[in-house]
Amino acid sequence: MAQRRALTTALDLAARAARWLRPYAIRALQGLGRGLAVLGQVTWRRRRTGVALASRAAWWIALWLLATGGVRLLGWQVEAVDRSLWMPFAIGVGLCAAIVLLAPARRMRLFGTALGTAHGAMALLTWATCFA
């Protein structure tokens, strides 16, 4: 009986809190919706800048993956060769393909092609050492 009374008291307090918080939550969600709408409009107007920034970020991430994967593949950090070494190179090839297809600047497409070729060569080397 005491547990039931405690449960009903807790539920009553939760209902009171929900009634009190409801207007504030509605106002906060409306403000969030307005903010997201403005953000969407600004993003749509500046989509070229966004694509340029995203392609550069993808290039730097692919370069980082090549460097860290190359260090792991050459055995400077690990003793045994494991079969998960190909994953950074596969992700890097995907990022470089996106750069080549979507980058607005010609030099980014050129450097994306070069970096993708390096990823492909490292993936081939990984395949030769791990799976052959």
Whole-number Å distance between alpha carbons of 56 and 54: 5
Pair 99, 55: CB distance under 8 Å: yes
Query: pTM for the complete prediction?
Result: 0.66
- Identify the pLDDT of residue 43: 86
Instruction: Please name the amino acid found at residue 54.
Output: A
Q: Tell whether the model's pLDDT for residue 6 goes beyond 90.
A: no
Contact 51, 102 (CB under 8 A): yes
Judge whether residue 13 has pLDDT over 80.
Answer: yes
Rounded Cα–Cα distance for residues 132 and 62 (Å): 25
pLDDT band at 16 (very low <50, low <70, confident <90, very high): confident
Q: Where are the domains of the chain?
A: 1-45, 47-132
